[in-house]
């Protein structure tokens, strides 16, 4: 049976309520992870004079599947 958008949203809201009940340490434990991201992780650091320069760099350099490009 296909779930309606409303049911899906209510399920997610229930997840939100449960997560807010959890202690901060658990939110940290399960909320942060590390995986390798090509290009982005290939330098120890980088800096940009403006946020616009950073956005342009993301558009130009990062693989689209990472999701950092501007939404169309």
Partner 1 sequence: MNGRREFRPLQAEEIARAFKKERVEYLFIGKSGAILLGYPGMTQDVDVFPARSVKNSKRLLAALGKIGFEIGADLERDILSGKDFVQIKSGPFDLDLIFAPDGIESFAQAKDRAVMEGIFPVANLRDIIASKRASGRQKDKIELPLLESFRIEYEKRNAPTLQSAREKLARKPQK
CB count within 10 Å of CB 57 equals 14
Q: Are 39 and 63 in contact (CB under 8 A)?
A: yes
Asked if 4 is part of the footprint of partner 1 (rule: CB under 8 A), the reply reads: no
| Nearest distance, CB of residue 44 and partner 1, angstroms | 4
| Nearest distance, CB of residue 13 and partner 1, angstroms | 5
Size of interface with partner 1, in residues (CB under 8 A): 44
Asked if 2 is part of the footprint of partner 1 (rule: CB under 8 A), the reply reads: no
Per-residue tokens: 69: 């490009």
Exposure on the CB side of residue 31, measured as CA atoms within 13 A:
10
Asked if 1 is part of the footprint of partner 1 (rule: CB under 8 A), the reply reads: no
């Amino acid at each position: 049976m296909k779930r309606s958008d409303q049911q899906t949203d209510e399920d997610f809201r229930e997840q939100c309520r449960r997560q807010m009940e959890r202690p901060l340490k658990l939110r940290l434990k399960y909320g942060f992870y590390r995986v390798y991201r090509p290009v982005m992780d290939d330098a120890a650091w980088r800096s940009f004079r403006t946020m616009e320069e950073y956005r342009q760099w993301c558009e130009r350099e990062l693989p689209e599947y990472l999701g950092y490009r501007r939404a169309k």
